[in-house]
Amino acid sequence: MGILNVTPDSFSDGGQFAALDGAISHAERMIADGVDIIDIGGESTRPGAPPVSVEQELSRVMPVVYALRDCGKPLSVDTRRPLVMREVLMAGADMINDIEGFRHPDSLAAVRDSDCALCIMHMQGEPQSMQQAPHYDDVVAEVGAFLRERVAAAERAGIARQRICIDPGYGFGKTFDHNLKLLAWQSELQQAVGLPVLAGLSRKSTIGHLTGKPVEQRLAGSLGAALFAAMNGARIIRVHDVAETVDALKVWEAARRAR
């Protein structure tokens, strides 16, 4: 899964057309590099990022969905808002990636009547404050229980299990130790919930913590994390660097299959 941010801070001059142009060429690059799913996000959820209005989010995301709907790759939209979910699904999006795990009271209803895929992610707290004092008694058990509960809620709402993948939510209300423990136990988490895992560690602070590198030098560390995640239950790897990750996964997959 390739990350396509359409937040103004992702593009140097910030203009609407420049942002749309930049997003389309970035998507074309990712397709040429072998991406399987394009994840479009119009809300920055970095720790401490300010919230955006629903109008702003729609004005960022909708033109990109329309421009890419016939690109031949499934489109995922990273959103927490039921209104945005409904609009992008009507426009042809294939997957909704909700960092809140569809906890908004209208979000399951927003996706129920389509046949879209869902990514249910765990987050403790809210993006603006989630890194202030994350706390768990047993992070693996608590994230697992949350994901099981949200999957059950989706099923009660009439959503087939086959549509759902789960995500431990690396970096979302978690310390370095929490993130590392979740990665170490990701296989068990996957088995406890019984659904495919989506893992997003690309360039995150966990990689920075382990390598001592700033965000623009985290490619090699991110590839290490991607391989470890893939070997431990992840079936979708959410990344910035598509070409390099595809190569790394090809090598691992060929070795695995040759056995």
Alpha-carbon distance of 20 to 39, in angstroms, equals 15
Cβ at position 45, least distance to ligand 7PJ in Å: 5
Alpha-carbon distance of 54 to 56, in angstroms, equals 5
C-beta nearest to ligand 7PJ: residue: 200
Choose, from 80, 203, 204, 218, the residue flagged as catalytic.
Answer: 204
Cβ at position 199, least distance to ligand 7PJ in Å: 7
Nearer to ligand 7PJ, 81 or 256 (CB): 81
Angstrom CA distances, 69 to 74, 83, 112, stand at 8, 19, 20
Our CA dihedral for 23, 25, 29, 30, rounded to 10 degrees, sits at: 20
The structure tokens listed for 125 are 């707290």
Residues that bind ligand 7PJ (CB under 6 A): 3, 45, 78, 97, 99, 119, 121, 167, 169-170, 198, 200, 204, 238
Identify each DSSP E strand in the chain by its residue range: 2-5, 38-41, 75-78, 95-98, 117-121, 164-167, 197-199, 234-237
Cβ at position 250, least distance to ligand 7PJ in Å: 23
238 is catalytic: yes
Nearer to ligand 7PJ, 61 or 254 (CB): 61
Nearer to ligand 7PJ, 22 or 169 (CB): 169
Choose, from 103, 238, 256, 257, the residue flagged as catalytic.
Answer: 238
Alpha-carbon distance of 168 to 184, in angstroms, equals 12
Nearer to ligand 7PJ, 88 or 119 (CB): 119
Cβ at position 36, least distance to ligand 7PJ in Å: 15
- Pairing mode, strands 117-121 and 164-167: parallel
Question: Which residues are tagged catalytic?
Answer: 204, 238
